[in-house]
């Protein structure tokens, strides 16, 4: 009896394996808990939405001509450097082809540091895991490792363009004053290394800067400094919670600059929800606004997965389509036993990209594995983000 | 000089928010000789729950948010008591400390999960600014200071003028003797948590209104500041919590004015250290601890 059942069981098992769909796992990584949970939720939703769309249209083609579906597994790093490193090590131990993330620059920087610096360097025992960042935006991080790639906008280019445009739009504005969230990697770098320099390059006189911390609640001193400086332009390099706190204090103290400029990450729903009225008029460059047919469709698809479309989450969406293209061009086997080989091929494929298709147009890739994305300027208007200016003129 | 005075005034006024949290910490300690680490988080949680009234429809007055936060604070206070104290052996000081730390993290994470960490606009009850020759005082902070004093007076009246207060003091001083006299210790403790919770609801809502925005980012700094204020004021002293709140608020703003934001918290910690070394009982505490 036992002997007669064995072939049947084997046959069933074989049929089951054959009937199983091939999958390529893409690991997402970001904060799904903690105060920047919304970043992770939105990226996760965009990854799932993009994978769903790709899978519905047949999935990805593997080296042997067979089709595979994309499977997304999302990991929570709490926007914490140690947890981020632990997460990427865990991902490297799975069959994930690549990791998309992380969401925070303070995670990305040390995390890229544990990756192999130069691909193929046998003396370097760093992690050989390709990472394709969607959110962490602090300037110049991908150069840390040849396994690190980013599809985030170039803030230096964007703010250079903002201040250049402001110069023509508000010729009377001569001075600028900064407000910076001193203990957050992105905000800090964006003021000191980007906004301040780009404003100076456009001949704005930098009158100084006020500093606060991410969890601060009282901004009276800082806003009084702003008021004293009486600058024509005030640039706030901070995330939504403190941006809102400062904007509300500015309203109380009657600080009304000619122009208010905000941080890229603040062009989100959080700012409108926290202080839509006070943010009215703030100008922010962004690499995403739902202005094209594709952009609107991506935003709608992401909303179905309970995510909101912004410059960060839509980079995650773009990453999935870029990965589909690279998986197919690099002849990825999809064989779980050869995952390291496939990871190396993906790395090489991403490194060779000169341009990619983005929701706002063609994205150029730099030799340092960064993106040069199209962008436009938005401003808060009637509790919504409205397009103010499109530098490309399209 | 005017800037320095203004900075001091702003800080002292803002210190009222620390005082409100400090009162909650100190009241629980005064009665149960336990630290409720979840107090600030529950207060912020109650403030969030207050916002639910806006879901009832447009035109809901801001005052309703504060009323709802007040009630929600009481409910949360009771829940914290049940979950973090009632079933925990009170003889082990670390047990309740850790259970309330757990509650702090739980409340924090619930807020984060429900709101996705998004800041929430909080209505202001009184947004007037008083201006005298360039010297300004925020009306809402003045109101918080006034509320702190009213709370203190109300709590003192409750403790020293009512039967509940008598029972509370009895439980605080000799829980076993109080029990032998027929006082239900668990009920008194639960009532204390509900009262501090109600106060926490008001505190959370007023803090939300003074910041203008609610965020889960508020819970940790408020917990730390609340504890500092409680220690400096004297564990168990309600007037001490208020004075220490003003002191800490004023000091941190003046230090920030002089030395910058990155050094600010260092000086507040230094003040705490000095108190712990030279006056561990705090401003209003006795020279010795309890026997």
List, for residues A261-312, the tens digit of each pLDDT value. Answer: 999 989 888 899 899 999 999 999 999 988 889 999 999 999 999 999 999 9
Helix (H) or strand (E) holding A196: helix A196-201
What's the domain range around A181?
A: 155-286
Among A40, A218, A308, the strongest candidate for a mutation testing the B interface, having the largest count of B CBs within 10 A, is A218
Q: What is the distance between the alpha carbons of residues A12 and A150, in angstroms, rounded to a whole number?
A: 45
Q: Hey, is the C-beta of B9 within 8 angstroms of any chain A C-beta?
A: no
Total number of domains constituting chain B:
1
Q: What is the model's pLDDT at position B126?
A: 80
Q: Does residue A308 sit in the same domain as residue A240?
A: no
For residue B6, list chain A residues with Cβ-Cβ distance below 8 A: 220, 224
Output the pLDDT for position A15: 47
Residue B43 sits at the chain A interface (C-beta within 8 Å): no
Whether residue A388 has pLDDT greater than 90: yes
Residue A384 has pLDDT above 80, yes or no: yes
Which position has the higher pLDDT, A320 or B17? A320
**Section A165-186 average pLDDT:** 95
Q: What is the pLDDT of residue B132?
A: 83
Q: Where are the alpha helices (DSSP H) in B33-138?
A: 39-50, 62-81, 93-115
Mutate to test the interface with A, among B4, B108, B121 (most CBs of A within 10 A): B121
Q: Does residue B179 sit within a domain?
A: yes
Nearest to B213 among A34, A224, A245 (CB): A245
Q: In this model, does residue A380 exceed pLDDT 90?
A: yes
Q: Compute the C-alpha angle A378/A382/A387, nearest 5°.
A: 20
Please tell me whether residues A193 and A139 are part of one structural domain. Answer: no
% of chain B beyond a pLDDT of 90: 62
Show residues of chain A in contact with B261, CB under 8 Å. Answer: 182, 211-213, 216, 222
The answer on A186 and A147 residing in a single domain is: no
pLDDT in tens, A7-59: 545 554 544 444 467 999 999 999 998 878 889 999 999 999 999 999 999 99
Find the closest chain A residue to B115 by CA distance: A38
Helix, strand and coil content of chain B, in percent to the nearest 5, comes to 75, 5, 20
Same domain, A101 and A26: yes
| Amino acid B291: pLDDT | 43
Which candidate, A249, A309, A273, places its Cα nearest to that of B121?
A273
Domain span holding position B258: 2-278
* Mean pLDDT value of segment A368-390: 94
Mean pLDDT of all residues in chain A?
92
Say yes or no: B142 contacts chain A, CB-CB below 8 A: no
Mean pLDDT, range A118-147, rounded to an integer: 95
In a shared domain, residues A232 and A268: yes
Confidence check: pLDDT of B77 > 70:
yes
The predicted pLDDT at position B290 comes to: 44
Number of separate domains in chain A? 2
User: Is A1 a residue whose pLDDT tops 70?
Assistant: no
Q: Which of A234, A257, A286 is the last residue of a domain?
A: A286
Whether residue A81 is contained in a domain is answered as: yes
Would you call B263 an interface residue with chain A, using a CB distance cutoff of 8 Å?
no
**Are residue A267 and residue A329 in the same domain, yes or no?**
no
Is residue A260 domain-resident? Answer: yes
The reply to whether A362 falls in a domain is yes
- Asked whether residue B88 is domain-assigned, the answer is yes
Cα distance between residue A387 and residue A345, in whole Å: 39
In angstroms, what separates the C-alpha of B8 from chain A's closest C-alpha? 10
B217 touches chain A (CB under 8 A): yes
CATH of the domain at B175: 1.10.3470
Q: Could you say which DSSP state residue B217 is in? A: G
Mutate to test the interface with B, among A76, A221, A270, A302 (most CBs of B within 10 A): A221
Q: What is the pLDDT at residue A392?
A: 78
Q: What confidence tens digit (pLDDT) does each residue in B257-272 have? A: 999 999 999 999 999 9
Query: CB–CB of A216 and B261 under 8 A?
Result: yes
Q: Which ipTM did the prediction report?
A: 0.85
Average pLDDT, integer, range B235-242: 90
Residue B110: what pLDDT? 94
Asked whether residue A164 falls in the same domain as residue A275, the answer is: yes
Mean pLDDT check: name the lowest of A73-87, B141-155, B178-192.
B141-155
Q: CB of B120 within 8 Å of any CB in chain A?
A: yes
Contacts of A300 (CB under 8 A, 6+ apart): none
Q: Output the domain CATH number for residue A101.
A: 3.40.50.2300
Burial call B16-39: b when 16+ CB within 10 Å, e when fewer: bbbbbbbbbbbbbbbbbebbbbbb
The verdict on A147 and A178 lying in the same domain is no
In this structure, are A148 and A162 located in the same domain? no
Specify if A393 maps to a domain. Answer: no
Rounded Cα gap, residues A157 and A153, in angstroms: 8
| B121 contacts in chain A (CB < 8 Å) | 244, 273-276
Query: Is B84 a domain residue?
Result: yes
Q: What percent of chain A is modeled with pLDDT above 90?
A: 85
Average pLDDT of the residues in A201-213: 97
- The secondary structure element, H or E, covering residue A246 is helix A240-253
In a domain, B288, yes or no: no
Chain B residues close to A240, C-beta within 8 Å:
118-119
**What digits encode the pLDDT tens for the residues B221-238?**
999 999 999 999 998 898
The reply to whether B287 falls in a domain is no
Tell me whether B3 touches chain A (CB under 8 Å). Answer: yes
Residue B60: is its pLDDT beyond 90?
no
- Does some domain include residue B202? yes
pLDDT in tens, A228-261: 999 999 999 998 889 999 999 999 899 999 999 9
Sort out which chain B residues have CB atoms less than 8 A from A274's CB and list them.
Answer: 118-121, 213, 215
In B, which residues are within 8 Å of A215 by CB distance? Answer: 217-218, 220-221
Give yes or no: residues A98 and A181 share one domain.
Answer: no
Determine, yes or no, domain membership for A10: no
Question: Across-strand partners of A384?
Answer: A381
Q: Measured between alpha carbons, how far is B175 from B187 in angstroms, rounded to an integer?
A: 12
Residues A69 and A128 in one domain: yes
Tell which phi-psi region holds residue A99, choosing left (phi > 0), alpha (psi between -120 and 50) or beta.
beta
CB contact under 8 A, B136 and A216: no
Q: A-contacting residues of B 14-33, CB under 8 Å?
A: 14, 17
Contacts of A208 in chain B (CB under 8 A): none
């Amino acid at each position: 009896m036992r002997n007669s059942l064995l072939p049947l069981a084997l046959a069933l098992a074989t049929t089951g394996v054959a009937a199983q769909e091939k999958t390529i796992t893409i690991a997402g990584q970001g904060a799904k808990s903690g105060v920047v949970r919304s970043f992770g939720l939105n990226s996760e939703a965009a990854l799932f939405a993009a994978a769903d769309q790709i899978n519905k249209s047949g999935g990805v083609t593997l080296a042997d001509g067979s089709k595979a579906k994309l499977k997304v597994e999302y990991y929570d790093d709490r926007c914490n450097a140690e947890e981020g490193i632990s997460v990427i090590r865990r991902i490297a131990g799975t069959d994930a082809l690549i990791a998309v993330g992380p969401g925070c620059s303070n995670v990305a920087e040390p995390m890229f540091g544990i990756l192999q610096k130069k691909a193929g360097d046998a003396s370097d025992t760093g992690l050989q895991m390709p990472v394709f960042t969607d959110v962490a935006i602090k300037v110049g991080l991908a150069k840390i490792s040849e396994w690190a790639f980013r599809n985030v906008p170039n803030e230096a280019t964007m703010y250079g363009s903002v201040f250049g445009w402001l110069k023509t739009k508000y010729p009377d504005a001569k001075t600028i004053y900064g407000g910076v969230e001193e203990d957050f990697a992105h905000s800090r770098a964006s003021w000191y290394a980007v906004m301040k320099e780009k404003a100076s390059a456009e001949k704005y006189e930098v009158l100084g800067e006020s500093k606060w911390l991410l969890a601060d609640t009282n901004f009276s001193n800082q806003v009084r400094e702003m008021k004293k400086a009486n600058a024509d332009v005030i640039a706030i390099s901070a995330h939504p919670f403190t941006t809102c706190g400062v904007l509300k204090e500015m309203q109380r103290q009657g600080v009304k600059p000619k122009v208010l400029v905000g941080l890229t990450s603040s062009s989100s729903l959080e700012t409108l929800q926290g202080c839509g009225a006070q943010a009215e008029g703030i100008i922010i460059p962004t690499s995403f606004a739902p202005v094209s047919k594709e952009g609107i469709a991506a935003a709608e698809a992401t909303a179905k997965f309970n995510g909101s479309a912004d410059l960060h989450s839509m980079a995650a969406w773009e990453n999935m389509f870029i990965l589909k293209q690279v998986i197919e061009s690099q002849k990825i086997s999809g064989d779980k036993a050869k995952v390291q080989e496939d990871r190396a091929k993906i790395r090489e494929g991403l490194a060779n990209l000169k341009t990619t298709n983005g929701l706002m147009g063609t994205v150029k890739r730099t030799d340092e594995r960064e993106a040069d994305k199209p962008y436009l300027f938005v401003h808060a208007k009637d509790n919504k983000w409205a397009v103010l200016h499109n530098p490309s003129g399209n | 000089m005017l800037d320095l005075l203004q900075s001091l005034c702003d800080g002292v006024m803002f210190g009222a928010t620390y005082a409100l949290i400090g009162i909650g910490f100190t009241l629980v300690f005064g009665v149960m000789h336990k630290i409720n680490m979840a107090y600030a988080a529950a207060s912020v949680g109650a403030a969030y729950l207050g916002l639910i009234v806006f879901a009832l429809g447009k035109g809901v007055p801001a005052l309703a948010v504060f009323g709802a936060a007040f009630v929600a604070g009481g409910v949360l206070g009771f829940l914290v008591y049940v979950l973090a104290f009632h079933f925990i052996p009170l003889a082990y000081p670390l047990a309740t400390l850790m259970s309330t730390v757990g509650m702090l993290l739980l409340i924090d994470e619930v807020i984060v999960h429900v709101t996705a960490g998004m800041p929430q606009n909080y209505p202001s009850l009184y947004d007037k600014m008083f201006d005298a020759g360039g010297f300004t005082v925020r009306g809402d902070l003045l109101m918080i200071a006034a509320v702190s004093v009213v709370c203190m007076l109300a709590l003192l009246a409750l403790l020293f003028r009512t039967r509940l207060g008598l029972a509370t003091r009895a439980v605080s001083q000799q829980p076993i003797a109080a029990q032998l006299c027929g006082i239900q210790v668990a009920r008194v403790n639960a009532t204390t948590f509900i009262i501090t919770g109600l106060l926490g609801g008001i505190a959370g809502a007023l803090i939300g209104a003074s910041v203008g925005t609610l965020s889960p980012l508020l819970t940790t700094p408020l917990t730390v500041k609340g504890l500092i204020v409680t220690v400096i004021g004297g564990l168990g002293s309600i007037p001490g919590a208020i004075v220490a709140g003003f002191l800490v608020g004023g000091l941190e703003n003046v230090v920030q004015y002089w030395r910058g934001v990155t050094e600010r918290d260092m000086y507040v910690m230094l003040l705490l250290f000095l108190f712990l070394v030279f006056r561990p009982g705090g401003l209003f505490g006795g020279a010795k601890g309890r026997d």
